[in-house]
Structure 1
Amino acid sequence: MIAALVPLDSASAFEIFGFHLFGGGDKTPPPPDAVTYSVDLEVIGDDSIRKTLLNASTLEEEKGEPSPGSAALLSRARADYQHLLAALYTTGHYGGTISITVDGREAANTPIDAELGDSAEVKITVASGPQYHFDDVTIVNRPGPIPDDHTVPQTPEELGLVDGAPALSGVILASESSLVGRWREKGHPKAAIEQRTVTAYNDRDRVGVDIVVAPGRSAVFGGTTVTGTSRMDPGFVAWYAGIVPGEPFDPDDLERARDQLRRLDVFQASRIIEGEEILPDGSLPIEISVAERKRRVFGFGAKYSTIDGVGLEGYWRHRNLFGRAEKLGVEARVGGIDAEDPDQYNYRLAVNFLKPGVFTPYTDFASTLYAEQERPDTYRSRAVGLKAGLSHRIGRRLTLEGYGLIEASTIDETTVGDGDFLWFGLPAAVRYDGSDNALNPTRGFRVNWQEQPFYEAGHGNFGFVSEVEGTVYRGFGGVRNDRVVLAGRVALGSIYGPPLDDVPANRLFFAGGGGSIRGYPYRGVGPINKKGDVIGGRSYFVGSVEARVNVTQSIGVVPFMDFGNAFRSEFPDFSERLRFAVGAGLRYNTGLGPLRFDVAVPLDPIDGDPSVAFYIGIGQAF
């Protein structure tokens, strides 16, 4: 079993899934003139819109809490006329009627200062009437037609305003947003809907729509000003955002700038504000408003596993050393501390430094100095190393990385890859993220490809380490509300050049564990020596398939199957048996990503493997 203790911020109350664990659970008593009330909704006509009406009603949403008084309840009821009318329009019902009574009196005709009793009965009656359909839709762009561009909608039909289709108000609003967005993408930042006329023809249940779009002047980006900084260099913030004065206005550039500001990790809030007017020279001023976070942060955690024992970890970070978001971090980790001999512990101490905005706003320098001991069942590794290099982003999805690496290690207590090693490597990577969400993807794919030429000086060997991983996600049930997401992953790697015995054991490939084949011990799958111990291989292949099913908005279930192995050969040998595991998990969706709890069962265990394993984490497994 695996469990984790999460570090807590100091607070008077801590709440998980709505349950107060300590303190903070008291409620403010209602005022003496509070009015409790019940709500009854009757739908006459199209009962399929009942849920839409209930979701739109403030009376329904807040009925569990007493109203502060009679006037507040009547105000709430009067506001619901507009809420329910808008809900009718979203479903294409333009001829409906709405009645809201409080204790039998129509709310719209009841004086706001009328006194109600301690409790009241609210009756909502909605006669939906027939559903209306589009008819006679026209769109006019002033001063003339939009330039030909096949990448954007050109006709009402392409915008969803199809004659004969249900006249949903949301379709009209979405089409207007698309029309304005089209002009903004073409460099017109002040494009707007000049006029919208929606005419309901009650004699034939039809809706006519006339939309006039005013694109306004085209513009280029003007100067960028930064407000709200205290320790950050405002000139650096403006430069790092990447908004280039004189370049044609493009909303995609603003979105990339927002992503850049998030990457700095020094702001608790940031906004990009477009100037109210285009200046006479055709430029649009841009303002970046920020609020800085605390510069220093630290944390700690603990975990327990029946496989790996007790572990502790902690970190300290400085987010802004010299005013340009330079980051310095120290992290320490120790595992297996329930073992009697401290020599059996796993240690790691690392110092990390990150300098954003080297050469270009999209290029970062990163380095790590580390010392560690790894103590799996089949070897002991003691190593010190330094890794340093650059990461460059091309667009929002593609990242290139290149580093230099030097590591000195001593490996013993193993049948392969033992001795003293001095490793020089040049790892490089290409990463493409075409998914729609970092922690909870529902569509798209990701590809990571890594190559590392190396020279191992202790044995005089040259070689290459190659790894590639691909994941794909396919959602079903709607772009914004996928009830089922099928996810798949395949990863493989190879070390070619030196023989198996000349590769340091800590550089060999293993499979198994939460990020590989769930159900098996971490680094517990691979070639097996004559003693029955798992040793590393020069290649590996692993894969996973999952069905992520949302039961409610917050709860999901995930059946999955993982498979793979590591091999002695330089390239994966698919004539050898793969190891399989199956399992299921629960997901609790939060604003930061899903909390993950997985239970996995190995189907091909060997001596020493668990019969079941548990995993807890944040975000999807891949």
Structure 2
Amino acid sequence: MKIVFAICSLLLCGIASAAEVRIVGVDKLSLPLYQDQLKPRLQYISARPATSWRADDAAFYLERLILRRGYSQVDVQWSISGNTIILKVNNGPRLFYGAVQSQTQTTLDNETLTNYFYQPIVEGELVGLKNAPYIKEYTQRGASNVENYLKSSGFWQAEVRVENEYVDIETGRIHVLLDIDQGGLHSLTRPRFTGISSTTEQEMIKEFSTLIGQPSTTENIVKINNDVSNYFRRTGYHFAEVNVTTEHHNSRTTLAFQIKQGKRYILRDVSASGHQDTQTRRILRFFKPMRNKVYDADAADKATNRLLNTGVFKKVVVTPVPHDDGFLDLDIELEEGKTVTTSAYIGTDSYEGLVLGVTYSDLNLSGKMWQFSSRAEYTGRGLLGEVGITEPFFAGEDISFNLRAFALQRSPDGYEKYELGSEASWTWQPTDNYSIRGYLGSSFVSTSSSSMTQEELGPNDYLNTRIGIIQSLDLRNDPILPNQGYNGELLTEFGSIIGDADTSYFKIDLNNSYRKKLLENTYLISRFDVGAIVPANSEKLPIDRRFFSGGTNSVRSFDERGLGPRSGSGDPLGGESYWVGSAELVREIRKPFHLALFYDLGQVYSDYEDLNFSSPSQAVGLSARIHLPIGPIRFEYGYNLNRKVKEPKGTFHFTIGASF
């Protein structure tokens, strides 16, 4: 009983002796912030009796916190009343960083100078340029960051010192004056090599000869270093050791390489482990072209990436295993991922209306890495069903082969359409940005209309056979939410129409867009598309093989497909040629919300020979966008600037996806 009483007494004493920390002298908005941020620091202090040294620690922590909010003259005094630590705060004036200038002439423009000076505090304290609090230590850090930037730009003798800081009492901002001794711009000389033959040196210098004599920026130095390392990786010296030192002297930069070349290896065997469902020979074929050749590590990396891009594996680890006889084996350790997926989706669109769909896919059909996909979709405009199968490594080459079959029913304005078809296509991507796709397709089409004449509609029932090539060049910084770079696509197609009327045609369609960043949160998009279809007999060209324009990705003052010639009943007829141009100014308001001003112009022509760029339809409008991982959700209104009879004043659009 005495033991229990003693324990309870100790616990009660511990509770009673816990100190309270009270902060006075700060505004009501700042108090909860300080209490929350100090909580981890004060847990030890507030769990024990109030003492002078604990009070001094609490005052120190609070003072450091307030200093980091821009109160450079803050004073925190402590006192103890009973078991309460009282922290009395005298904030003093709150100061922010202001203008940053150089008292000497440099190559830095004011925006670059300001951005690099502010970078340490913006990243270190998670604040913006306009509200960066004045914290004394960041003044020197900012100056050092400017100096490092100059050195990385090739001015390796640059020195940056803080000359002065002065207060603007009215604005509460500290302006900083820097003394910048930029020095001369260094250029790259021919590197020095030890440990390799003169022949190897000559071959290697060809890799970066264009950089010799260029400014010795960090980017150029790193590129030369990478080129040297990659040379040995590519030529079989996978385990070569490359060390480099950088020498700056008299506005010249020399890279001195010390190299232990080691053995040159030939790839002999490739083995795979860790997989269960996938056929081994299907895995090894990605590396087969490398066997019995000088080992090329870059080629091995590309083969590994192609294997990962099939989606069958979530992990691929390639380990080179060298042997004393000059041969090398590759051990491939794999971990298969989930390859079968079923999904459903629902959406809406200002033209399609309600969209419902289900999909089923298997990325590893029969363990052969064949990619099977199927989809069934309903929209307010019709039905679609399709199945496809893709071989990602066709005939042992880096070419994907796809077979696709589809059936659809569509109800565009003015007519009904049924189509049943199939297509074979081959896609080759020789570079990361350029791809070429060849296709051969055939489909049976049936159209009907209760409002159009037979002449307006064209043939009702026919077989369309076509062969074509699509070339794509994508230099954008992001395929889903890009804000920089060029994207272009060129389609050329030959086809025939056999049925109610027979004809043949040649089709060409060119799409271009370019994005340019103007300011931190602002960029410009421009676009120009043009196309023409040249039939042997225009009267025998079916309506659904013509070009249509207008809508969310065209001239946005019109409904979808609403631009151009009309039938006697007022329905869109399409045409044999078209063009459209657009410009957009996009600004991020606050992630993920964006606003865009746009200007569109273009036209559709009944005859391909009528294609010209005079008297286009024009639109101006506003777009509100929400940028999501699946793409932007767009709410847009386009106003018709040169409205003609029976044309709309403007049109509202809602859709998902980039404008072009």
Q: TM-score, normalised by structure 2?
A: 0.66
Contact 1:96 1:126 in 2 (8 A): no
Equivalent of residue 208 in structure 2, options 153, 163, 177:
153
- CA gap of 1:45–1:281, structure 2 versus 1, over 3 A, is same
Contact 1:183 1:215 in 2 (8 A): no
* Residue 270 (structure 1) shift: 4.7
Match of 1:363 in 2: 399
Equivalent of residue 603 in structure 2, options 548, 551, 565:
565
Q: Secondary structure at the residue paired with 1:60?
A: helix
Match of 2:528 in 1: 489
- CA gap of 1:393–1:59, structure 2 versus 1, over 3 A, is closer
Q: Secondary structure at the residue paired with 1:275?
A: strand
Equivalent residue runs for 1:250-289 within 5 Å: 253-254=299-300, 256-257=302-303, 260-261=306-307, 263-267=309-313, 269-271=314-316, 273=318, 275=320, 280-281=325-326, 283=328, 285=330, 287=332, 289=334
Distance 1:522 1:55 in 2: 47
Distance 2:330 2:609 in 1: 56
Distance 2:596 2:231 in 1: 39
Match of 1:377 in 2: 413
What amino acid maps onto 1:140 in structure 2?
Answer: R
Asked whether 1:400 is paired with 2:437, we answer yes
Asked whether 1:386 is paired with 2:440, we answer no
Match of 2:148 in 1: 89
Q: Secondary structure at the residue paired with 1:177?
A: helix
Distance 1:281 1:355 in 2: 35
Distance 1:575 1:137 in 2: 50
Contact 2:582 2:598 in 1 (8 A): yes
Contact 2:188 2:213 in 1 (8 A): no
Equivalent of residue 321 in structure 1, options 365, 374, 390:
365
Equivalent of residue 461 in structure 2, options 406, 416, 421:
421
Distance 1:218 1:278 in 2: 11
Contact 1:241 1:261 in 2 (8 A): no
Distance 1:484 1:391 in 2: 35
Contact 1:321 1:328 in 2 (8 A): yes
- Cα deviations by residue, 1:143-196 (Å, 9 ceiling, x for unpaired): 2453358974327644532xxxxxx65654454334434555666545654131
Distance 1:136 1:97 in 2: 25
Contact 1:180 1:215 in 2 (8 A): no
What amino acid maps onto 1:357 in structure 2?
Answer: F
Contact 1:544 1:562 in 2 (8 A): yes
Contact 2:445 2:464 in 1 (8 A): no
* Residue 249 (structure 1) shift: 5.0
Q: Secondary structure at the residue paired with 2:124?
A: helix
Match of 2:621 in 1: 583
Match of 1:617 in 2: 656
Equivalent residue runs for 1:29-40 within 5 Å: 31=40, 33=42, 37=65, 38-39=67-68
Distance 1:84 1:407 in 2: 71
Contact 2:399 2:429 in 1 (8 A): no
Distance 1:94 1:334 in 2: 65
Match of 2:514 in 1: 473
What amino acid maps onto 1:516 in structure 2?
Answer: S
What amino acid maps onto 2:372 in structure 1?
Answer: L
Contact 2:143 2:161 in 1 (8 A): no
Distance 2:598 2:264 in 1: 52
- CA gap of 1:504–1:96, structure 2 versus 1, over 3 A, is closer
- Cα deviations by residue, 1:505-551 (Å, 9 ceiling, x for unpaired): 333332122233333222222322233332233x1212223355566
Distance 1:59 1:532 in 2: 59
Equivalent of residue 60 in structure 1, options 120, 124, 127:
124
Q: Look at both structures and tell me which one has the larger radius of gyration over its CA atoms.
A: 2
- CA gap of 1:317–1:418, structure 2 versus 1, over 3 A, is same
Match of 2:192 in 1: 140
Asked whether 1:461 is paired with 2:502, we answer yes
Contact 2:547 2:578 in 1 (8 A): no
Equivalent residue runs for 1:188-227 within 5 Å: 189-190=238-239, 193-198=242-247, 210-212=255-257, 214=259, 216=261, 219=265, 221=267, 223-226=269-272
What amino acid maps onto 1:405 in structure 2?
Answer: S
* Residue 389 (structure 1) shift: 0.9
Match of 1:300 in 2: 345
Distance 2:323 2:528 in 1: 48
Distance 1:55 1:178 in 2: 31
Structure 1 vs Structure 2: percent identity of aligned residues?
14
Q: Secondary structure at the residue paired with 2:396?
A: coil
Match of 1:4 in 2: none
Match of 2:572 in 1: 534
What amino acid maps onto 1:467 in structure 2?
Answer: I
- Cα deviations by residue, 1:443-467 (Å, 9 ceiling, x for unpaired): 445332231322322x251312412
* Residue 298 (structure 1) shift: 0.8
Distance 1:562 1:518 in 2: 7
* Residue 300 (structure 1) shift: 0.4
Asked whether 1:232 is paired with 2:272, we answer no
Distance 1:401 1:394 in 2: 12
* Residue 63 (structure 1) shift: 8.9
Match of 1:545 in 2: 582
- CA gap of 1:152–1:557, structure 2 versus 1, over 3 A, is farther
Equivalent of residue 509 in structure 1, options 544, 547, 552:
547
- CA gap of 1:477–1:597, structure 2 versus 1, over 3 A, is same
Q: Secondary structure at the residue paired with 2:566?
A: coil
Equivalent residue runs for 1:115-134 within 5 Å: 130-131=181-182, 133=184
Asked whether 1:432 is paired with 2:472, we answer yes
Distance 1:617 1:159 in 2: 46
Contact 1:465 1:495 in 2 (8 A): yes
What amino acid maps onto 1:231 in structure 2?
Answer: D
Distance 2:146 2:320 in 1: 34
What amino acid maps onto 2:560 in structure 1?
Answer: Y
Between Structure 1 and Structure 2, which shows a larger proportion of helix residues? 2
* Residue 292 (structure 1) shift: 1.7
What amino acid maps onto 2:310 in structure 1?
Answer: L
Q: Secondary structure at the residue paired with 1:324?
A: coil
- Cα deviations by residue, 1:206-235 (Å, 9 ceiling, x for unpaired): 796543153735555554444554433343
Distance 1:557 1:545 in 2: 16
Distance 2:148 2:602 in 1: 54
Match of 2:484 in 1: 442
- CA gap of 1:83–1:53, structure 2 versus 1, over 3 A, is closer
* Residue 471 (structure 1) shift: 1.5
- CA gap of 1:424–1:30, structure 2 versus 1, over 3 A, is farther
Match of 1:348 in 2: 384
Aligned length: 532
What amino acid maps onto 1:469 in structure 2?
Answer: L
Q: Secondary structure at the residue paired with 1:319?
A: strand
Contact 1:229 1:290 in 2 (8 A): yes
**RMSD over aligned Cα atoms:** 4.7
Q: Secondary structure at the residue paired with 2:209?
A: coil
Q: Secondary structure at the residue paired with 2:299?
A: helix
Distance 2:511 2:578 in 1: 12
Distance 2:220 2:179 in 1: 19
Match of 1:176 in 2: 225
What amino acid maps onto 1:180 in structure 2?
Answer: S
- CA gap of 1:426–1:323, structure 2 versus 1, over 3 A, is same
Q: TM-score, normalised by structure 1?
A: 0.69
- CA gap of 1:370–1:393, structure 2 versus 1, over 3 A, is same
Contact 1:453 1:463 in 2 (8 A): yes
Q: Which has the higher contact order (CA 8 A, sep 6+)?
A: 1
